[in-house]
Amino acid sequence: AQSVSQHNHHVILSEAASLELGCNYSYGGTVNLFWYVQYPGQHLQLLLKYFSEDPLVKGIKGFEAEFIKSKFSFNLRKPSVQWSDTAEYFCAVIGGSYIPTFGRGTSLIVHP
């Protein structure tokens, strides 16, 4: 069975600080990996996805993530956060079942 672990539950940063959110998954085969973002009061939307291409994936709004197969990790990064990045971030993995498993989410608060 596949599983996802997000290590940081709550992150508080000041604007212009760098961001890295951890995501580790457990699955022995080929995976597809995703980061979704949920802005306050809204539904989840796709931030970026990994599909067996370049392990460094670039998404919207300056976000990127690196797939490190040996570490079963897919950490999300952004060099300089903005107040508008305040949101909840979810990592998800799809293995052989084609049904995704989501992590518990990381709440990010960015102070102006």
| E strand map for 1-112 | 3-5, 10-14, 19-21, 24-26, 32-38, 45-50, 56-58, 64-68, 73-78, 87-94, 101-102, 106-111
The candidate with the shortest Cα–Cα distance to 44, out of 104, 108, 89, is 89
Residue 22 interacting with another protein (CB under 8 A): no
| Binding residue for another protein, selected from 22, 49, 59, 64, defined by CB under 8 A | 49
Binding part of the chain for another protein, among 17-25, 30-38, 58-66, 71-79 by CB under 8 A, reads 30-38
Residue 90 interacting with another protein (CB under 8 A): yes
Cβ proximity to another protein, 81 vs 105, nearer residue: 105
| Binding residue for another protein, selected from 12, 46, 60, 109, defined by CB under 8 A | 46
Q: What letter does residue 60 receive in the DSSP assignment? A: G
Q: Please give the Cα distance from 58 to 17 (Å, whole number).
A: 19
Cβ proximity to another protein, 73 vs 105, nearer residue: 105
Question: Are 5 and 23 within 8 A, CB to CB?
Answer: yes
Residue 95 interacting with another protein (CB under 8 A): no
Residue 45 interacting with another protein (CB under 8 A): yes
| Binding residue for another protein, selected from 17, 59, 64, 102, defined by CB under 8 A | 102
